[in-house]
Structure 1
Amino acid sequence: MRSSFNSIVAEGGIFKDMLPYERFLNFGPESLTDVELLAIIIRTGTRDASPIDIAGSILNIEKGKESGLNSLFSLSLDELKSVHGIGEVKAVKLKCIAELAKRMAAQRSKSSLDCSNPSHVASYYMEKMRHEDKEKVILLCLNNRYKLIEEYLLSIGTVNSASLSPREVFMKALKCGASNVLLLHNHPGGDPTPSRADISITNKISESGSMLDIYLIDHIIIGDRSYTSLAEKGLLWN
């Protein structure tokens, strides 16, 4: 009923002439385009650019392989502020909106996360990690049924390296009573191929865990829309 009514109103010109905020109040957020949704968040324009114009300029920016709304994940504050009509306050607000969207998507799927399935784990963490410009190492502590007990950010590195300490891994695992652990880290360059160092430290951790009866079930490396599971590749020596 709503969609047919919207079509009738739009044909009459009323819907088309409404400002985004008015359209939201009358027909809901689903009636708005990406530009209009962003314009409501931007709220105010300049003397020569409306919020719609400013929103359009932002969505026309391409950052790497990202464009449209997805570019908000990877655009820096300075890049957003380079858009005419966007100051620091609006840039921060837009980055917060992107972060909220990321966290909401993550929260929705976290409860059903199957940590025994590398593809499922990689898919869940892909959006969370592939936009990062530094290597981050995440530890998942699991029970004996491979269900998530706790998640820890172990380290943040430079563009191409992150420190990983077996001692810290098992301190966290013992603290929450984990039976199994799973490691993830991202490669900011986008290629998830494991380095020799990745393989070496993974198996050092696996060997240490076996002595504690805490088993490393996998180490997953996140790239740009791709991943490598060391377990799937036969590179994890249990």
Structure 2
Amino acid sequence: MAIMVKDLPVDERPRERLLFSGAAALSNTELLAVLLRTGTREKSVLHIAEEVLAHYKDRGLEAIVHMPPAELAAVKGVGKAKAATVLAAVELGRRLSMKAAEHIVVVHDPEDAAHFALPRFRFEQREHFAVMLLDTKNHILGMPDVSVGSLQASVVHPREVFRAAIDYAAAAMILFHNHPSGDPTPSREDIAVTQRLVKAGKIMDIPVLDHIILGRECFLSLKEKGMLS
């Protein structure tokens, strides 16, 4: 017979623990259980939450960000209404993380730039190449996508990169792209593309200040690694 949440001591129930100790005190399973709210006759809500997370263990928790509603709803014990609640909470969290980055309006170092960009690209499943466009005082003018590629690569042409810079009347730029694998280690092609764009920037008088490669929770600055030229 399954142990239901109501059979647990009050201070061990996820919702009560959240209210008493805060959301940060809960595990991923418990947080998901709070969103799912109820289980079934056969399974507790904690058991269903565990099954949802186990279903996506190969892709990690971030797989939920891109999960089609029908796929989540198909998990026994979830259904359409609970799937909608979970995916709405995930999207709200994603938007809050992006909002938190908006206070960075001036770039002083690669960390500032990466913290601005990470919330936007952290969970992307394809490689995106973007340019952060700066004015003469390193205020961020914008960060448009230049190219969206496959799971492993994006195709970048200098013409598209500098067209964006001219459209924004940028004085300088920082290149960005994400590695969906989560590992920001640059490939030989990454370095070659960077060097080609640095040379083009000198000709256009719009310097490329850095190329930052984004993982899921980390980043790598080619400038800091001495790979910019």
Confirm or deny a common fold (TM above 0.5): yes
Question: Structure 1: which 5+ residue stretches go unaligned?
Answer: 1-12
> Match for 1:158: what amino acid?
S
Preserved CA contact (<8 Å) 1:59 1:71: no
Deviations 1:187-232 (A, max 9, x none): 2223322222222222222222333322211111123443321211
Change (3 A) 1:114 1:79: farther
| Partner SS for 2:155 | coil
Change (3 A) 1:113 1:28: farther
Preserved CA contact (<8 Å) 2:14 2:31: no
Preserved CA contact (<8 Å) 2:122 2:178: yes
| Aligned counterpart for 1:58 among listed residues 24, 45, 52 | 52
| Aligned counterpart for 1:49 among listed residues 43, 50, 63 | 43
Matched residues in 1 for 2:31 and 2:184: separation? 35
- RMSD (Å), alpha carbons: 3.4
**Aligned position for 2:32:** 38
Deviations 1:134-182 (A, max 9, x none): 1111221111121211121222211111121222222222222211111
Preserved CA contact (<8 Å) 2:165 2:173: yes
**Aligned position for 2:203:** 211
Preserved CA contact (<8 Å) 1:220 1:230: yes
Change (3 A) 1:78 1:63: farther
**Aligned position for 1:122:** 114
1:235 and 2:219 correspond: no
1:150 and 2:142 correspond: yes
Total equivalences in the alignment: 218
**Aligned position for 1:105:** 97
Q: TM-score, normalised by structure 2?
A: 0.74
Change (3 A) 1:130 1:169: same
| Partner SS for 2:144 | strand
Preserved CA contact (<8 Å) 2:104 2:116: no
Change (3 A) 1:82 1:138: same
Preserved CA contact (<8 Å) 2:172 2:206: yes
Q: Percent of counterpart pairs with the same letter?
A: 31
